[in-house]
Chain A
Amino acid sequence: MSAAPRAPSGNDGALALSGVTRRFGDYTAVDDISFEVGRGELLALVGASGSGKTTTLRIAAGYEVPDAGSVTLGGADITSVPPERRGFGMVFQHYALFPHMSVAHNIAFGLEARGVNKTERVEKAREALAAVGLKDAGDRAIQSLSGGEQQRVALARAMVIEPRALLLDEPLSNLDPTLRQTMRDDLRAMLRRVGVPALFVTHDQEDAFAISDRIALLRMGRLLQCGTPEELYHRPVSREVASFIGRGTILPAVDNGETASITIGGRATDVPVVRADGAAPRLEHAYVVLRPDALKLTNEDDPRGWRGSILNRRFAGGTVMYRVQLADGVTVEVESSSGSAREGDAVAVTSSGERFPLVPR
């Protein structure tokens, strides 16, 4: 099921897709997807490859025309408006910078296409370059830029035309990990400043968590859930969402309303649960998601705990991640601030007090 789309907000410049479907032959790449991105909002389209996220972005950009459904901007239907008349800024995965033009000419190209005179073009291209922190790079050749610089030029090129929406296809996937961390913050700040709807595609949920206000999670062309990163993490609407977002062990459970009972090693335990907004009050086939941060290690003989032994210990900066083997072949991950336990130690695992997400099959 998908989150209910918010009511179209009329003329505030929001970008909305409703009921959008795109088929390639027998294959349905995008299946009845609806969501809305408001001005200044950053929405991430997240999914594995083949989930339809790029096709959705291309429909928003106008490179694909949907077989059903509509795309609107500020309430106006733009479903079949070609990309050159949409006035959107797009950043491509491999940046698609014109190799035969200098940096400045690349950035000024959109203005040239709009018939802006040369002095103004030069002036605006300079401003745009300064805005992405590449003030002196105007005369350089595209081939001489590093990956991070190319990304900034692509962004400047998309922003200089004063776009009505910004669309980014895997903007960080070509950067090395260190650069990626800093670019996340920069990107978020720059997109905020432009103040238009921004839609970006990523397969990396950490990127999505770091940059976006809301996440639309796609799988096999369908929208699984659309909401804030916290919503997707703490209140997933389905098992699929819970297994894609964040880490955790998913176990079958008996739904008791406020709590649910899970059975490990022949012993049933009641745990406090939380369910997604609008979910059924009682689920026939329920599952509990045991997140590492909602579990803790206790003494081996703690009566409330599930007994097990530590398979693996991994230092993760401020905390330590333990992989613990419980009974019945169940393994869970536990995040702990103390790292005193060692591999092979006998321990018990209990709830840290937080409520566990409860999801239907």
Chain B
Amino acid sequence: MLLLLWTVVYPNVSVIVGSFENGLEHWREFAASPADREALRTSLVISVASVLASLAIGVPLAFLLGRFEFPGRRLLRAVATLPAALPPLVGVIAFLFLYGESGVVTRSVERVLGMAEAPWRLRGVSAIVFVHAYTMYVYVFLFVSAGLERFDATLDEAASGLGANTWQRLRRVTLPLLMPAVAGSMLLVFMNSLGSFSAPYVFGGGLRVLSTQILASKINGAMGLAYVETTVLALSAVAGLLLFRWIDRKRKYTLAAKGGRTRRAIKSKRAQVLTAIAAALVVITLVLPHLMVILVSFARDGVWTTQVLPPEYTLENYRRLFSEPELWRPITNSVSMALVATAANVVVCFLAAYLIVFRKFSGRRLLELLVALPWAIPATAIALGLAATFNQNDLLTGRVLLVGTFWILPLAYFIRDIPLVASAVEGSLRQMDPSLEDAARGLGASWMLTMRRVILPAARPGLVAGALLAAVTAVGEFVASVVLYTHANRPISMEILAQLRALAFGTAAAYSVLLIFLVLLMTLAARSFEERLA
């Protein structure tokens, strides 16, 4: 608990304190700066637009896949969650290759229509929302799909038996009951968009959002202003959190897991053909970014200029990655930092979840809050908090100087992933009958034995799933890294950005493919581990 207070709360406190270091001066500076006001407004606009766009894609897709049977359904279902497997920066790069000014799709449209210049520019709010919608609709899709699956089909039947037509049933029964799932996913998209860094950073152009402003202020040495901006960003996130809590306030019911509805086949031939075509288009759109990154990873650096597709292909990018120590370094960095952070997550979050679920003690609510807190704070804010805290020889930080060392990034990853791992473990533990622990103790088992033979096995599924999620996010982490990295401990994401800046698209893409490959490898490892134990 002290450890959590020290790592989770203290940095944020120092940010807030820092924002007041010269009285209200930094706040006045913030309020007076048109750039910052614009950044706040843009951040909020982007977040709301991203939520709406994700809803527009995720909800219909969940209904289509959950309620209807049509040719191509299985394929569509298989690729529907693919965008979530792209580390944030990689998704952005893929979009750049596809829809950027010299992207494949852009160029193709340009050629086909015989236009003199690019038909669109991948810049500004719409570009950012476009990328967000692609990567974040998955949350909406997953939440609504799960809701539909648990939806008690007899409620729908009861409504139709009472004379309600399809539209009335949707409006009065299905949608209200799915509201909790929809609201939950909206909140996730909102928080992610608000803290999103990669898309605004790459596509923003002259556009300012809070997360990029914070980095700019920090680089310019205006730490006081950066603290204010961070506080404002965190407050917006908390406000969003409270707003959604309020929307969802009246709910007293839960959806009982009954489900059991068979999918309806689409009958009319025309509708069948139309859905199949639509499904094919969606599948292509979803898979294209992945394929594009793979394709570009084989492109020779520096020769892809005005052609639709890269003209020359080579294995050189990969060969250099594996043979040049300077290029290999980010990979070992990312993997080792992710492993350290995940190991810490597993130990700390297991203990926290165990205490929350099984022990009644006075600090329990506080512990719950501490564990959930990093979730409500955008990653940029967490990173800045760490930068503010662990860069001075201070008694409260235990005289630990971390900024500029290897340890600062794993610490950031660890904090970011606390809520993820803890809630996964908590979920597993809550399914266990609490009297099992008493039973084990009653049979004379020591605390250690009970832990090892009863509690740990019960927590295992959540522990494995949580560790996997933590490792996957940590290995591709970008948002906190960009604030805290140094040349020596730069992770893959920073190297991708550097290569992109040097216009070495092939190398950047090769790193991205490697990152996707790492994610895949970890997923498979976790699955086989789980299967062997189960």
Chain A residues in the interface with B (C-beta under 8 A) = 61-63, 82-90, 92-94, 96-100, 109-110, 112-114, 141-143, 157-158, 161
Q: Please encode chain B, from 283 to 302, with 1 for each CB lying within 8 Å of some chain A CB and 0 for all others.
A: 00000000000000000000
Give B441 Cβ to nearest chain A Cβ, in Å.
34
Q: Which residues of A contact B252 (CB under 8 A)?
A: 99, 141, 143
Within 8 A of A (CB), among B237-258: 251-253, 255, 258
Q: Which residues of B contact A84 (CB under 8 A)?
A: 160-165
Instruction: Select which of A89, A96, A141 is within 8 A of B157 by beta carbon.
Output: A96
Q: Are A110 and B176 in contact (CB under 8 A)?
A: no
- Asked if B84 lies at the interface with its beta carbon under 8 angstroms from chain A, I say no
Those 9 A-B pairs whose CB atoms lie nearest each other, nearest first = A110-B162, A99-B253, A96-B158, A113-B164, A96-B154, A113-B163, A90-B161, A84-B160, A83-B160
Q: A92-B154, A96-B152 are in contact. Are A143 and B253 (CB under 8 A)?
A: yes
Q: Are B176 and A100 in contact (CB under 8 A)?
A: yes
Q: Which residues of B contact A112 (CB under 8 A)?
A: 168, 172
Q: A84-B165, A143-B253 are in contact. Are A98 and B160 (CB under 8 A)?
A: no
Q: A141-B252, A142-B253 are in contact. Are A90 and B158 (CB under 8 A)?
A: yes
Q: A92-B158, A109-B159, A109-B172 are in contact. Are A99 and B164 (CB under 8 A)?
A: no
- How many A-B pairs have beta carbons closer than 8 Å: the answer is 78
A-B contact pairs, 26 of them (CB 8 A): A62-B161, A63-B161, A83-B160, A84-B162, A89-B161, A89-B162, A90-B161, A93-B154, A94-B152, A94-B154, A94-B258, A96-B152, A96-B154, A96-B157, A96-B158, A98-B158, A99-B253, A100-B251, A109-B159, A113-B159, A113-B162, A113-B164, A113-B168, A114-B163, A141-B253, A143-B252
Q: Are A96 and B168 in contact (CB under 8 A)?
A: no
Q: Which residues of A contact B158 (CB under 8 A)?
A: 90, 92, 96-98, 157
Q: Which residues of A contact B176 (CB under 8 A)?
A: 100
Q: Which residues of A contact B168 (CB under 8 A)?
A: 112-113
Q: Are A88 and B164 in contact (CB under 8 A)?
A: no
Complex alpha-carbon distance, A161 and B179, angstroms: 28
Complex alpha-carbon distance, A142 and B256, angstroms: 14
Complex alpha-carbon distance, A112 and B255, angstroms: 24
Give A139 Cβ to nearest chain B Cβ, in Å.
13
Complex alpha-carbon distance, A102 and B155, angstroms: 15
Give B390 Cβ to nearest chain A Cβ, in Å.
48
Q: Are A61 and B161 in contact (CB under 8 A)?
A: yes
Instruction: Select which of B164, B179, B255 is within 8 A of A109 by beta carbon.
Output: B164
Q: Which residues of B contact A83 (CB under 8 A)?
A: 157, 160-161
> Looking at B158, B160, B162, B177, which has the most chain A CB atoms within 10 Å of its CB?
B162
- Asked if B500 lies at the interface with its beta carbon under 8 angstroms from chain A, I say no
> Looking at B160, B165, B168, B176, which has the most chain A CB atoms within 10 Å of its CB?
B160
Instruction: Select which of A88, A97, A99 is within 8 A of B161 by beta carbon.
Output: A88
Q: Please encode chain B, from 128 to 168, with 1 for each CB lying within 8 Å of some chain A CB and 0 for all others.
A: 00000000000000000000000010110111111111001
Complex alpha-carbon distance, A94 and B260, angstroms: 14
Q: Are B163 and A92 in contact (CB under 8 A)?
A: no
Complex alpha-carbon distance, A143 and B255, angstroms: 12
The closest CB in chain B to the CB of A91 belongs to: B158
Give A124 Cβ to nearest chain B Cβ, in Å.
13
> Looking at A93, A96, A110, which has the most chain B CB atoms within 10 Å of its CB?
A96
5 further contact pairs, Cβ within 8 A, besides A96-B152, A98-B158, A99-B177:
A89-B161, A109-B172, A112-B168, A157-B158, A158-B162
